[in-house]
Amino acid sequence: MILDTLENSGLYESIHPRFKKAFDYLKNTDLVALPFGKIELEGANLVVNVVEITGKAADAAKMETHNKFIDIQVPIGKTETMGWISGSKLTEATEAYNVDKDVSFFANKASNFIAVQPFEFAVFFPEDGHQPGIAEGTYKKIIVKVMV
Query: Which pLDDT score is estimated for 77?
Result: 87
Q: Does domain 2-147 have CATH number 1.10.357.10?
A: no
Terminal CA-CA length for the chain: 14
pLDDT digits (tens, 9 = 90+) for 48-84: 999 999 999 999 999 999 999 999 999 998 999 999 9
CA-derived radius of gyration, the chain: 14
Q: Which long-range contacts (CB under 8 A, 24 or more apart) does 97-101 make?
A: 97/67
pLDDT, tens digit (0-9, with 9 covering 90-100), for 94-148: 999 999 999 999 999 999 999 999 999 999 999 999 999 999 999 999 999 999 9
Return the domain boundaries, the chain: 2-147
Q: What is the pLDDT of residue 23?
A: 98
Q: What is the pLDDT of residue 80?
A: 98
Nearest to 116 by CA among 65, 55, 69, 59: 55
Q: Are 108 and 81 in contact (CB under 8 A)?
A: no
Tell me if residue 27 falls in helix, strand or coil.
helix
Check pLDDT > 90 for residue 36.
yes
Asked whether residue 7 carries a pLDDT value surpassing 90, the answer given is yes
Residue 142's pLDDT is 98
